[in-house]
Amino acid sequence: MNPFLYFVDSLSAWVGKAFGWCIMVLTFATCYEVFMRYVLNAPTAWAFDMAVQMYGALFMMAGAYTLSRNGHVRGDVIHRLLPIRVQAGIDLTLYILFLLPGVFALIWYGYEFAADSWRYKEVSWSSPARVQIYFFKTLIPVAGALVLLQGIAEAMRCVMCLRSGKWPARLHDVEETETMAIHKHREELIEGGEAK
């Protein structure tokens, strides 16, 4: 089962990091707009729509990546104090009751929105530039499918934890500074204990 988990984690990471470049596009477009508006007094008609679409694409496509890194916000004040098997049971229950139905709805209705948008080549109604948005509406069911795949992998992790009593390994990725410091401190404590 681990090869499947690693494949799904890798796919989620690749997609999340690829769409992370939307931040660069958004930054350059915003800087260009600010320069045009305040220095040359010639604002663009497309900057607002570009910002909305880039942020929306980043937000939608980063969901599976965040789930693969166990990074979604949750109230784990009590959860982290529970035994590991209880944590896995709670997580599995929540994935089945809330994540999977929500993701199925996102895929189903997202597909309908995207199909309608493609049918009449939808453009932004709030912009004088009339920017095409049907490409971006396609990301709704695609993001749902990726979160569904990652949700299945996370549910499998819970089942594996219920059986073995420990969480399966995750792919390592960028960590926050505090997390890296804690891991480094633990390693130093372990090495110091072995030296004695």
pLDDT in tens, 56-90: 899 899 999 988 888 777 777 788 888 999 999 99
Q: Write down the pTM of the prediction.
A: 0.80
Distance, CA of 33 to CA of 36 (rounded, Å)? 5
| 85 residue type, one letter | R
| SS3 (DSSP) at 132 | strand
pLDDT in tens, 13-55: 999 999 989 899 899 989 999 999 999 999 888 888 888 888 8
Where along the chain do its domains lie? 2-195
Q: What is the CA radius of gyration of the chain?
A: 21
